[in-house]
A and B are shown apart, each in its own frame.
Chain A
């Protein structure tokens, strides 16, 4: 992944607008947050292969990272804290936010085909 270039990412978001896509959306602070800090709460959510069509999407710079919102007919897809992105060899748009130790905090991925973890293909 590379640091997000806003204009490039916007072009990629536009590319998927108006067609049915699969979305992976995720946030996590890890399974050990409250193990190492009794005052912390483990927080996480993911949805994998949500099949949606968005009318349009927009990426906004926040200085330290980016927010992305995708407008659906009946709702929204939203992610904050994105820092890095890539278009992979399957032409999917992968975006993620990493902390200073490279740990994933948030991910938003868009694909025309359902997501399968890479190792699934060679099992």
Chain B
């Protein structure tokens, strides 16, 4: 019997080896996959047990921090946002019940100090506990305050401010705001997501996740395509009558004003529709779409926010829920003046202004500036990187000159800053029947994009206001001025 007993022991050794194998599979080899399962809430809870890194504004003001609650195995950290609603967008929130959103979500790995298995083994051996790293952002508290305050007076909308040479995002304001401190309250969360709040949608970041018809701000893109492709020079004149017939429908200037033979400067300064419509047709769909794509259209903007919370801009086909490409039939003349099915996020429009300001180079917009670990040493620094080069420096300079005319003597005079040259472009899109506007007469989407100082740009902005009866030059341009002034004053 002894031989059988030894064989039986061998069998049990095999059984136990299988147990070791399966345990190794779950605990080590498949662990990553298991932790990513939606039904596995452990990673979420565990993140609450490590102090999440702080998020700071550019000047060191604390935007988000972790507060200790409970002790022992009940120890957890809760997120607190000392500035309340000011940075509800774009920082978002991080709560056990809700998970993360926006910046908190995108930078979750750094904020939780997520490490490789090897790193955590070292930590365990040295008895070091996992701790989150803190992130210093480019956000400018004062400018964000000014933007939010100005938006509150103007209506729902958004302001985006970018440093053209680096892509540093200084302001990303969306009105109406919400207070991230209160979203973990079940009642508040229900109310914020209720039908009654659908039009207000305070949880929607209008700077990145709302698309509006861009109106005349898009003429900057059309002009860029014309100049860059050589179809026009600043001296080229085009005859701009009071109205033209495009695809069987009238396309008219404001007050049907006829301008005769004019060049780019006059056309942009006065936002002449018939001039740009014809320019668009001359440039052709291929080149216009190519220019749009170089500015970042038809793609999710490369900002450090979750892809699910950033929308691409372009011609949106409502029926098939997709972006139209250069091969789809479009009404080119109306695309050229920012109509047709064009929809643009404020972030995208700010990127257009920033690219022109940065001598034709579009930098990737980034909210974060550097990551600092627990000992206070910088572990990562945002390196400015070029997303694309839509314009030659010469083209950018020509376009800047035209945009300066807009602020000096055209539709955008309200954006002028004393002693500082400003380049910009207004936009006013009529959005009749926009349900979000509640059916009133206030159905304009008012825009202003621009940068200052025009000769040595420090900041590029896009301002967009929903459901207003005013024009871009009247409601959006003053906000541009206020925010730009604040940023320029701050250094």
- Chain B binds chain A: no
- Chain A residues in contact with chain B, CB under 8 A? none
